[in-house]
Structure 1
């Protein structure tokens, strides 16, 4: 399957070359794309996205197969253990609870002792990053699906996990120290201090209900843990992730887009708030070098915006967007990783359609336990088991000196 994924990657590169050829032809003839060419270009962009989705699905399937092979090899290599010894197995504990054998109503999903405390350190997102060597637990599957759903979590924020949900006060930087000056001998040193404030991080509750049949739960051929972790991760990621982008900060997280500062405003001559290659370059250099050099520095926009970015060239005729050469790794824009999030605004007049900066300066707080509860009585008349998943978390920008900035479409 690895070879097939490689062929998909090669096909992706070939499709991009076709798209570039269309754009180059139109540019060489100093004209816009014709209606037919625009239709072809949009089809090629759709093909790129479809290949991405297919390659990712295959990579995930290969990862699951590798995990299963490793698990069976481990079991076959050792004598069978008494059933009583399996009580400490997290998978057995989860299945026992899912089927109602444990007698407990609630199941708390916690990271293991070796689980990274910061999501940016997770190395299981791609097989090449070490995923083939680490078994996937229910917790890490759930977190992975949350990250896949939320572009902000993909971009590398600083993630704080706490055992309880009381409000946290995080120091924030509002202004840096000014430059030092020459001081005469025995002269007085002038005060030159940075300005700090505080960012309160709360624990807003996100939750949903999920129902499954008794037949599904009791079918040992079904990857129930994988199914539940996928559904829970996506649901929690969609709800929490939306507020991590556009949350108002009032009775919900303060979204990264809400907290970002203006970097570049589009020219009044641009149509419908569109950006140019020069404006994206200006946006990248509106961020000072220490932030721009950070490994967590990157771009955030919605998928439809990426299609527009793919058309842009710099003054040397080089495309700003470059496709990734590794499955699972993000594409790049001006050499920085490009992440997408459906909650980012579309390109429009006055819209903040593009974010750029050091996303590690955005803090995401999560209360450590993701709580699952089961009810056999809620849907008794339909013979369904009802599960309830709850996550508590918050998010806010702790460096308001311009670490993350946005492009705003012109207001004319």
Structure 2
């Protein structure tokens, strides 16, 4: 890790201490923040977010440099030649990008995965794992989708036919039974839902001058642009999709774990978040995929809250690649979660592995030299097919909802 990144982390910790000092001063004097203090507090929160973005960009840049160096070393050490000739053999992606083939399919690994779509921390082994084009694209898709970052269960299928999924809506329950008395029957309740394969697509355009520049990282450019665009499009539906010709979002089927008080425009208190925390039963709460999700502005409010012992509920992360914590559980942000307001479901908490994401058929990339011929642009089209659904609807994921008034 570079010294600059370390200094940024130290600065982040210092900024948080300044923010805490403002809150503690107001609390000790038994008053709310003044207008000037509130402005300072919001500015400090903005600094925290900016530092997070800068650190992430620098870490990503260092990783890209390491990946490029490793790739170049491999090419120099093991040059590939075509049979019967001395020319270097290009991989399929580069041949497609130059227009030698019109389209390619990037297959997705088969099977079910749990929280394993990212490379993880580079220093913890990420640098030793070759990064495929599919892996790069998925990494960028995850970074802009809070749901994908939180660790859903991902079903990878070769094709997009409809999958019937049994959904648990109620568990069995036992009862105290007298000697020789009949035992009451209590069966779990199931419903049947379908996971389809809705199409998400994006068009990318690059100038011929850019593609002719031998220094451009074409794979990285395409993966970043396509991944972020597809992630943003799917991410909206993964949160709030109604299931009608689109995925069913987490909020759509999540139950309300806590409703806020009246007269506060939907705002929550520390006790509200603690109640929401314990509204999710222990098996889900203890899962490694259990966490919080809210938008950035909501997190800014959560940073102010303390428990009954005067301890802040929010604990900033001091380690790269590890999310901040709220009541000991990781916090993920997603702009598609509703803002704090009356009746709004502004905080999600629970076991995100109960949400199933279906990825069908990998990624399809196609190229056209004719679409923007008059502008001398090469057009690329990226398409994925995906769906999402909360499979365990017995309370694995719950929301905080603002009161109606």
Question: Which of 161, 172, 175 lines up with 1:166 in the alignment?
Answer: 161
Where does residue 331 of structure 1 map in the other structure?
Answer: 324
Q: Distance in 1 between matches of 2:71 and 2:96?
A: 21
Q: Distance in 2 between matches of 1:259 and 1:117?
A: 22
After TM superposition, give the deviation of residue 70 of structure 1 in Å: 2.3
Q: Distance in 2 between matches of 1:368 and 1:86?
A: 35
After superposition, residues 348-367 of structure 1 pair within 5 angstroms as 348-367=341-360
Structure 1 pair 159–88 and aligned structure 2 pair: CA distance change class (3 A): farther
Structure 1 pair 214–280 and aligned structure 2 pair: CA distance change class (3 A): same
Question: Which of 160, 172, 175 lines up with 1:177 in the alignment?
Answer: 172
Where does residue 220 of structure 1 map in the other structure?
Answer: 214
Q: Distance in 2 between matches of 1:272 and 1:188?
A: 52
Q: Distance in 1 between matches of 2:220 and 2:2?
A: 22
TM-score (norm 1): 0.94
Given that residues 99 and 218 in structure 1 are in contact (C-alpha distance below 8 angstroms), is that contact kept between their aligned partners in structure 2? no
After TM superposition, give the deviation of residue 265 of structure 1 in Å: 0.6
After TM superposition, give the deviation of residue 218 of structure 1 in Å: 2.2
Where does residue 45 of structure 2 map in the other structure?
Answer: 45
- Pair 1:248-2:245 in alignment: no
For structure 1, the residue ranges without an aligned partner over 5 or more in a row are none
After superposition, residues 295-306 of structure 1 pair within 5 angstroms as 295-306=288-299
Where does residue 281 of structure 1 map in the other structure?
Answer: 274
What are the superposed Cα offsets for residues 293-333 of structure 1, whole Å, 9 maximum, x if unpaired?
00111001001101000000000000000001111211010
- Pair 1:82-2:112 in alignment: no
Given that residues 165 and 391 in structure 2 are in contact (C-alpha distance below 8 angstroms), is that contact kept between their aligned partners in structure 1? yes
Where does residue 92 of structure 2 map in the other structure?
Answer: 93
After TM superposition, give the deviation of residue 112 of structure 1 in Å: 5.8
Q: Indicate the SS of the match to 2:91.
A: helix
Where does residue 201 of structure 1 map in the other structure?
Answer: 195
Where does residue 226 of structure 2 map in the other structure?
Answer: 232
Q: Indicate the SS of the match to 1:395.
A: strand
- Pair 1:137-2:136 in alignment: no
- Pair 1:404-2:401 in alignment: no
Q: Distance in 2 between matches of 1:254 and 1:63?
A: 35
Q: Bigger shift: 207-216 or 299-308?
A: 207-216
Q: Indicate the SS of the match to 1:300.
A: strand
Structure 1 pair 295–23 and aligned structure 2 pair: CA distance change class (3 A): same
Q: Indicate the SS of the match to 1:33.
A: coil
Q: CA RMSD in A?
A: 1.9
Q: Distance in 2 between matches of 1:181 and 1:372?
A: 60
After TM superposition, give the deviation of residue 275 of structure 1 in Å: 0.2
After TM superposition, give the deviation of residue 365 of structure 1 in Å: 0.7
For structure 2, the residue ranges without an aligned partner over 5 or more in a row are none
Poorly superposed stretches of 4+, deviation over 6 Å: 85-89
Where does residue 145 of structure 2 map in the other structure?
Answer: 150
TM-score (norm 2): 0.95
Q: Distance in 1 between matches of 2:145 and 2:43?
A: 26
What are the superposed Cα offsets for residues 17-65 of structure 1, whole Å, 9 maximum, x if unpaired?
1100010000000001111111111111011001101111111111112
- Pair 1:266-2:266 in alignment: no
Q: Distance in 2 between matches of 1:404 and 1:100?
A: 47
Instruction: Tell me the matched-pair count.
Output: 404
Given that residues 154 and 358 in structure 2 are in contact (C-alpha distance below 8 angstroms), is that contact kept between their aligned partners in structure 1? yes
After superposition, residues 22-33 of structure 1 pair within 5 angstroms as 22-33=22-33
Structure 1 pair 375–76 and aligned structure 2 pair: CA distance change class (3 A): closer
Structure 1 pair 218–183 and aligned structure 2 pair: CA distance change class (3 A): farther
Q: Distance in 1 between matches of 2:347 and 2:87?
A: 50
After TM superposition, give the deviation of residue 128 of structure 1 in Å: 3.5
